[in-house]
Amino acid sequence: MKTMAQNIKPLFLALAALNLSCQAWTVAPINGGIAQVTLPDSDSRPQASYLGHPVLIEGQSPHWQAIVGIPLDRPAGTEYLEVSSPQAARLAFTISHKDYPEQHITLRNLHMVNPSAAELQRIHQELSEERQDFAIFDGRTPALADMHLPVQPTALDSAFGLRRFFNGEERAPHSGLDLQAQEGQAVYAPLGGRVLLSRDLYFNGGTVIIDHGQGLISMYCHLSRIEVAAGQNLAAGAELGRVGHTGRATGPHLHWSVSLNDVRIDPSLLLDAGQRQQLTGHH
Ligand SMILES: [Zn+2]
């Protein structure tokens, strides 16, 4: 196995250095996005949940905030964060609504549009495993502000949240970002974490899922090669695999999903302005 130092590329180091000068981000709370909820001051790290799932808490004693993932199908209105420790409290916050555009995709491989009974069984089994992974809440605190793009993209293929139609049939909305990149390009862990899954899946192709702690889970799909094993601890910037077009993919790209409190959110919201610019093509 390669050492971490060999796996970290100069580009990643340059980006990491750049990030040190950046301010903490703020985002508008929308469906498919993130709400930042300020918690009452306390000496110990509070615990809170949203829609029954524990949420990520960041900060330093006595100042804390919850970083809450909002489901795509949540309407505009008032939401509630349930604080359980050190003192029970119910905190209201407001979200606004974003309409996500439609995307129509033509697939020639009809097994990817209407899978057989045997294929469906495999798909359901893999989906339930994926869901279990996304629901994990590990106590480690992720270095959220250090989040980086996992690959140097040539373009943004498909944004997060698109309402998807495969050969005219509506399927689940796009739960991640598609980063256009070349076949074989290296994919890096954008934050440190533990590998939960690393293998070939029916729709997702070569897949790696990483647990970064406190319910922040990320997934990388359509890989042509996987270079990490389940259970392995990864440092930020460690190479996890290579870009490919395995599974349900029309061409080489990296599908990148990010989940908070078991909710898939737009990964670009966790990037700083400089990193986000790389997605819009303003190099
Ligand atoms: Zn995708």
End-to-end CA separation in angstroms for the chain:
34
Residue 18: the pLDDT is: 43
How far, in Å, CA of 269 to CA of 271, rounded? 6
Residue 25: the pLDDT is: 65
Residues 257 and 155 in one domain: yes
Domain assignment present for 162: yes
Q: How confident is the model at residue 24 (pLDDT cuts 50, 70, 90)?
A: low
Single out the residue in 42, 71, 95 at which a domain terminates: 95
Q: Is the pLDDT of residue 248 over 50?
A: yes
Residues 86 and 108 in one domain: no
Q: How far away, in angstroms, is 214 Cα from ligand 1 center?
A: 24
Domain assignment present for 150: yes
- Give the domain extent around 156: 102-280
b/e burial code for range 12-37 (CB count within 10 A of at least 16 → b): beebeeebeeeeebeeebbbbbbbbb
Give the mean model confidence (pLDDT) for residues 112-120.
88
Residues 114 and 81 in one domain: no
The share of the chain scoring above pLDDT 70, in percent, equals 90
Residues 40 and 180 in one domain: no
Q: How far away, in angstroms, is 238 Cα from ligand 1 center?
A: 22
Q: What is the pLDDT of residues 174-216, one digit of tens each?
A: 999 999 999 999 999 999 999 999 999 999 999 999 999 999 9
Q: How far away, in angstroms, is 86 Cα from ligand 1 center?
A: 39
Domain assignment present for 5: no
The rounded mean pLDDT for the chain is: 90
Residues 111 and 74 in one domain: no
Q: How far away, in angstroms, is 194 Cα from ligand 1 center?
A: 22
- Is residue 8 classed exposed, middle or buried when 0-12, 13-18 and 19+ CB atoms within 10 A define those classes? middle
Q: Is 164 helix (H, G, I), strand (E, B) or coil?
A: strand
Q: How far away, in angstroms, is 56 Cα from ligand 1 center?
A: 25
Q: How far away, in angstroms, is 31 Cα from ligand 1 center?
A: 18
Cα of 88 vs its chain's centroid, Å = 29
Domain assignment present for 17: no
Residues 134 and 214 in one domain: yes
Higher pLDDT, 275 or 39: 39
Residues 249 and 138 in one domain: yes
The residues, ordered by sequence, that sit 6+ positions from 100 with a Cβ below 8 Å of its Cβ are: 32, 72, 159, 160, 161, 162, 163, 173
Strands 102-105 and 163-166: parallel
Domain assignment present for 90: yes
Q: How far away, in angstroms, is 181 Cα from ligand 1 center?
A: 13
Q: How far away, in angstroms, is 256 Cα from ligand 1 center?
A: 7
CATH number at residue 48: 2.60.40.1590
Q: How far away, in angstroms, is 161 Cα from ligand 1 center?
A: 10
Domain assignment present for 15: no
Q: How far away, in angstroms, is 257 Cα from ligand 1 center?
A: 8
Q: How far away, in angstroms, is 265 Cα from ligand 1 center?
A: 13
Q: Is the pLDDT of residue 23 over 90?
A: no
Angle at 188 between CA 217 and CA 197, to 5 degrees: 45
Q: How far away, in angstroms, is 282 Cα from ligand 1 center?
A: 22
The residues, ordered by sequence, that sit 6+ positions from 152 with a Cβ below 8 Å of its Cβ are: 11, 181, 185, 278
Higher pLDDT, 20 or 181: 181
Which residues are close to ligand 1, an ion, with C-beta < 5 A?
178, 255
118, two tokens: 């045997």
Residues 140 and 216 in one domain: yes
Q: Which strand (E) or helix (H) includes residue 14?
A: helix 10-19
Residues 53 and 187 in one domain: no
**Extended beta strands in 51-135, E state:** 53-54, 56-60, 63-69, 77-85, 89-95, 102-105
Task: List 155's β-bridge partners, or say none.
Answer: 180
The CA–CA distances, whole Å, from 220 to 60, 169, 204, 239, 280 equal 31, 25, 8, 12, 20
Residues 219 and 91 in one domain: no
Q: How far away, in angstroms, is 158 Cα from ligand 1 center?
A: 7
Torsion of CA 258, 262, 263, 269, to 10 degrees: -40
Single out the residue in 64, 95, 126 at which a domain terminates: 95
Residue 135: the pLDDT is: 97
Residues 139 and 91 in one domain: no
Q: How far away, in angstroms, is 84 Cα from ligand 1 center?
A: 36
Which of these, 162, 179, 187, lies nearest to 249 by C-alpha position? 179
Q: What is the pLDDT of residues 141-165, one digit of tens each?
A: 999 999 999 999 988 888 999 999 9
Q: How far away, in angstroms, is 90 Cα from ligand 1 center?
A: 35
Q: What is the pLDDT of residues 217-231, one digit of tens each?
A: 999 999 999 999 999
What's 70's DSSP letter?
-
Q: What is the pLDDT of residues 33-68, one digit of tens each?
A: 999 999 999 999 999 999 999 999 999 999 999 999
Number of domains forming the structure of the chain: 2
Q: How far away, in angstroms, is 178 Cα from ligand 1 center?
A: 5
Task: List 144's β-bridge partners, or say none.
Answer: none
Domain assignment present for 7: no
The share of the chain scoring above pLDDT 90, in percent, equals 76
Q: How far away, in angstroms, is 174 Cα from ligand 1 center?
A: 6
Residues 90 and 108 in one domain: no
Residue 32: the pLDDT is: 97
